[in-house]
């Protein structure tokens, strides 16, 4: 044997290193795959847990059925191809008794309206019913070929129209508006130039579904700050009135945030008639 040529011992060691290296890489791939699968599964379990816990706060619903009706809308689907009708089974699984004369709609006033309704039991928003409560503030979507619920990398509000979150709110807002009865209130934002927008869910879905056979009046509460940008004379409200079912009375009140706060403090005794 010539000097420098690897002997049979050296060769077998090299082979062993290669085999060990390949095995190591395989183990690593398997570990990564298991971790990814667990993380995804955890995403589904966590989301489902929040959903079911929120559902259980309401009496009379089979929350497992409600969850199944909800997830069938988007699971395994292209997250840009979930129309609002996909949530019809969810709406059918969550019937609710409308609180006539106490229903509260809103647009561009999410924080102020919920601060107000949280302090008093006088008004009921969509988010106070099982329909809206289960998913309020959450983001979710599915993926083709997967049975999981994802909570990251979901299409945003503007990425595509038929995304699971936007279609959900369109559908449940329609259901809430379909049930609107008696004297109905809607809080709009007097700090922006056009408090009423025909493109908003309030303007494009809820308002159009208000029906004079069930509803007597629509009472707009224009929430104003110290130097309001808009009030009840705002032009956008003319468009609102034109779109409102003719048999429904229209009223509008400018209400300052300070007045609103006072109303919620006094609401235990005087429900409603504060503006
Ligand atoms: O998250 C909710 N609870 C929710 C979402 C959408 C609609 C509730 N709603 C129902 C409520 F019952 C109200 O009566 O519809 C009415 C409010 O909808 P709106 O479109 O008239 O009012 P906005 O303040 O313009 O939007 C409501 C919410 O939708 C989301 C955001 O969470 C906002 O608070 N949203 C709207 N536009 C965008 C956007 N461009 C958006 N999120 C991300 N990007």
CA of 166 to the centre of ligand 1 (A): 9
Spatial separation of the C-alpha atoms in residues 182 and 257, rounded to whole Å:
25
Residue 216's φ and ψ, nearest 5 degrees, are -95, -45
What architecture is domain 98-126+180-268? 3-Layer(aba) Sandwich (3.40)
Catalytic residue among 100, 160, 232, 271: 100
Please check whether the two domains, 12-94+129-176 and 98-126+180-268, share a CATH topology: no
Categorize the per-residue pLDDT at 275 as very low, low, confident or very high, splitting at 50, 70 and 90.
confident
Q: Is 100 a catalytic residue?
A: yes
Q: Taking 90 as the threshold, does the pLDDT of residue 79 lie above it?
A: yes
Q: Taking 60 as the threshold, does the pLDDT of residue 78 lie above it?
A: yes
Q: Taking 50 as the threshold, does the pLDDT of residue 181 lie above it?
A: yes
**Rg of the chain taking only CA atoms, in angstroms:** 27
Give the residue, 152 or 271, on which the prediction is more confident: 152
CA of 169 to the centre of ligand 1 (A): 8
Catalytic residue among 122, 181, 263, 274: 181
List the 215-224 sheet strands across, edge first. 104-106, 182-189, 215-224, 249-256
The string of pLDDT tens digits covering residues 89-120 is 999 999 999 999 999 999 999 999 999 988 87
Measure Cα distances from 66 to 48, 134, 135 in Å: 11, 10, 12
Predicted local distance difference test score (pLDDT) of residue 213: 98
Name the residue at shortest CA distance from atom 44 of ligand 1.
157
Name the residue at shortest CA distance from atom 43 of ligand 1.
157
Cβ density class 190-213: b for 16+ within 10 Å, e for less? bbbebbbbeebbbbebbbeebeee
Q: Is 55 a catalytic residue?
A: no
Predicted local distance difference test score (pLDDT) of residue 228: 85
Categorize the per-residue pLDDT at 233 as very low, low, confident or very high, splitting at 50, 70 and 90.
very high
Q: Taking 90 as the threshold, does the pLDDT of residue 267 lie above it?
A: no
Categorize the per-residue pLDDT at 170 as very low, low, confident or very high, splitting at 50, 70 and 90.
very high
Predicted local distance difference test score (pLDDT) of residue 2: 47
CA of 73 to the centre of ligand 1 (A): 20
CA of 15 to the centre of ligand 1 (A): 63
Residues near ligand 1 (Cβ within 6 A): 105-108, 110, 125-127, 132, 136, 157-158, 169, 173, 176, 200-202, 206
The full length of the chain comes to 275
- Which of 116, 202, 203, 239 is the best mutation target for the ligand 1 pocket, counting ligand atoms within 8 Å of the beta carbon and taking the most? 202
**CATH hierarchy code of domain 12-94+129-176:** 1.20.82.10
Place of tokens 């969810």: 90
Closest ligand 1 atom to 186 CA? 14
Q: Give me the chain's average pLDDT, please.
A: 91
pLDDT over 90, % of the chain: 73
Interval 152-173 mean pLDDT:
96
CA of 17 to the centre of ligand 1 (A): 60
The string of pLDDT tens digits covering residues 27-77 is 887 777 777 666 666 788 999 999 999 999 999 999 999 999 999 999 999
Predicted local distance difference test score (pLDDT) of residue 5: 54
Closest ligand 1 atom to 132 CA? 3
The string of pLDDT tens digits covering residues 119-133 is 878 899 999 999 999
Question: What is the greatest pairwise CA distance in the chain?
Answer: 107
Map out the domains of the chain as residue ranges: 12-94+129-176, 98-126+180-268
Among 61-65, 115-119, 216-220, 233-237, whose mean pLDDT is lowest?
Answer: 115-119
The string of pLDDT tens digits covering residues 2-23 is 455 556 666 677 888 888 888 8
Name the residue at shortest CA distance from atom 13 of ligand 1.
106
């Amino acid at each position: 044997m010539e000097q420098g040529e690897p002997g049979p011992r050296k060769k077998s060691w090299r082979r062993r290193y290669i085999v060990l290296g390949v095995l190591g890489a395989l183990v690593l791939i398997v570990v990564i795959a298991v971790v990814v699968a667990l993380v995804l599964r955890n995403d589904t379990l966590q989301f489902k847990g929040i959903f079911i816990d929120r559902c259980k706060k309401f009496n009379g619903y089979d929350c497992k059925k409600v969850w199944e009706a909800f997830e069938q809308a988007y699971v395994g689907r292209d997250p840009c191809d979930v129309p609002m009708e996909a949530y019809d089974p969810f709406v059918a699984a969550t019937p609710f008794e409308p609180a006539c004369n106490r229903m509260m709609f809103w647009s561009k006033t999410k924080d102020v309206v919920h601060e107000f309704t949280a302090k008093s039991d006088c008004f009921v928003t969509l988010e106070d019913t099982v329909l809206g409560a289960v998913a309020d503030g959450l983001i979710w979507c599915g993926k083709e070929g997967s049975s999981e619920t994802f909570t990251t990398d979901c299409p945003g509000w503007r990425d595509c129209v038929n995304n699971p979150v936007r279609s959900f709110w369109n559908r449940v807002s329609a259901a809430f508006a379909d049930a609107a009865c008696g004297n109905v209130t809607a809080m709009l934002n007097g700090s922006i130039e056009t408090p009423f927008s025909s493109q908003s869910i309030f303007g494009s879905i809820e308002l159009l579904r208000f029906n004079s056979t069930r509803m007597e009046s629509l009472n707009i509460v224009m929430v104003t700050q110290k130097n309001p940008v808009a009030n009840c004379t705002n032009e956008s409200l003319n468009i609102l009135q034109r779109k409102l079912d003719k048999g429904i009375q229209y009223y509008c009140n400018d209400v300052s945030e300070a007045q609103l706060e006072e109303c919620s403090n006094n609401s235990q005794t005087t429900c409603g008639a504060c503006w």
